[in-house]
């Protein structure tokens, strides 16, 4: 079975990202596939490369990167929600005349069309808000 995940909660202020990560690992351990993960609303903060939680806490960004590396899961970030919250890739920073950026691969800024496509190609689509 192929799953898609929508994450709308910010790390460390919502249980949604951690619940989604645990769900993804459980699904994968049962032999299913995660087609992609879409970060929306405050969930875009999961992609920030500037997160530095205490060493005894799970670094959510690193956990998503590890999931991508081990299972080739696409990590899409809503560009409109990200820009509104001050998150951007190097390309977007240049486009807006800014020097700094805080979204790097494997996270990719995409539009809501990518979310719709993910929903359509999955057997199950789970929302974590």
55-111 pLDDT per residue, tens = 999 999 999 999 999 999 999 999 999 999 999 999 999 999 999 999 999 999 999
Eight-state DSSP code of residue 13: T
Say what percent of the chain tops pLDDT 90.
100
Number of domains in the chain: 1
Which domain covers residue 17, as residue numbers?
2-127
Mean pLDDT of the chain: 97
Q: How many CA atoms lie within 13 A of 114 on its CB side?
A: 19
Active-site amino acid positions: 78
Q: What is the CATH number of the domain that holds 119?
A: 3.40.1260.10
| pLDDT for position 48 | 98
Give pTM, 2 decimals.
0.96
């Amino acid at each position: 079975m192929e799953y898609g995940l929508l994450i709308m909660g910010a790390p460390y202020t919502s249980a949604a990202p951690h619940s989604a990560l645990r769900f993804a690992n459980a699904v994968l351990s049962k032999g299913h596939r995660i087609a992609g993960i879409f970060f929306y609303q405050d969930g875009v903060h999961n992609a920030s490369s500037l997160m530095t939680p205490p060493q005894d806490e799970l670094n959510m960004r690193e956990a998503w990167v590890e999931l991508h590396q081990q299972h080739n899961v696409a990590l899409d970030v809503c560009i409109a929600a990200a820009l509104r919250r001050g998150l951007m890739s190097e390309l977007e920073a240049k486009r807006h005349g800014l020097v700094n950026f805080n979204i790097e691969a494997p996270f990719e800024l995409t539009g809501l069309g990518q979310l719709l496509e993910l929903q359509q190609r999955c057997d199950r689509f789970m929302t974590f808000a």
